[in-house]
Chains A and B, each alone.
Chain A
Amino acid sequence: MFKRSDESLIEKAIGGDAKAWQQLVSRYQAPLYYFGLRLLGSPDDARDLLQDVLIVLCRNLAQYRGDSSFKSWLFGIANYRAMDMLRKRKTTTEFTDEHDFYDDEAPSFEQQLYGQHTQRLVQQQLRHLPPEQRLVVELRFYQQFTFDEIADQLALSSNTIKSRFYAALDKLRTQLELADVEQSANF
Chain B
Amino acid sequence: MSNSQQIFEAWLAGKITASECEQQLEPDTEWYSRFQTAQLLQRQAKAPFFAPVPEVDTMSIFAQQWQRPAKSSNWWPKLSVAFSVLALVVSLSPLELQMQDSGLTLIWRGGQQMQQQQLETLLAGYRKEQQDYIQTQLQSTQQQQASQLILLKDYLTEQQTKERRTDMLELVEYLNQQRQSDWHYWQENYQPSQARLDLGASPNAQNR
A residues apposed to B, CB below 8 Å: 13-16, 18, 21-22, 25, 29-30, 33-34, 37, 43, 47, 50-51, 54-55, 58-59, 61, 101-103, 105-107, 110, 114, 118-119, 122-123, 137, 140-142, 144, 146, 166, 169-170, 172-173, 176
Contact = CB atoms under 8 A, between A and B. Distances in A.
A176 B51 contact: no
B81 interface: no
Given A43-B51, A58-B62, A114-B48, A122 B41 contact: yes
B104 interface: no
A58 to B, nearest CB: 5
Contacts of A37: 51
Nearest to A60: B65
A169 B48 CA distance: 22
A144 B32 CA distance: 21
A73 B38 CA distance: 25
A103 B34 CA distance: 30
15 contacts: A13-B66, A14-B66, A15-B66, A29-B56, A34-B51, A51-B56, A58-B65, A102-B51, A107-B50, A110-B50, A114-B47, A119-B44, A122-B41, A144-B45, A173-B33
Nearest to B46: A114
A103 B51 contact: yes
The 3 closest A-B pairs by CB, nearest first: A106-B50, A114-B47, A141-B45
A170 B53 CA distance: 32
Q: Which of A21, A47, A110 has the most CB of B within 10 A?
A: A21
Nearest to B44: A122
Nearest to B43: A114
Contact of A55 (B43, B45, B47, B61): B61
Interface of B: 12-13, 33-34, 36-38, 40-45, 47-54, 56, 58-59, 61-63, 65-68
B203 to A, nearest CB: 146
B96 to A, nearest CB: 50
A133 B188 CA distance: 150
B150 to A, nearest CB: 78
A18 B59 contact: yes
Given A13-B66, A169-B37, A169-B38, 10 more contacts: A16-B67, A16-B68, A18-B62, A21-B66, A22-B59, A25-B56, A33-B54, A170-B34, A172-B41, A173-B33
Contacts of A54: 56, 58
A37 B54 CA distance: 12
Contacts of B49: 34
Contacts of A107: 50
Contacts of A119: 44, 47
Nearest to B61: A58
Given A18-B63, A21-B62, A50-B56, A141 B51 contact: no
B66 A61 contact: yes
Q: Which of B37, B40, B48 has the most CB of A within 10 A?
A: B37
Contacts of B40: 118, 122, 176
Contacts of A105: 50
Nearest to B62: A21
A186 to B, nearest CB: 21
A16 B66 contact: yes
Contacts of A101: 51
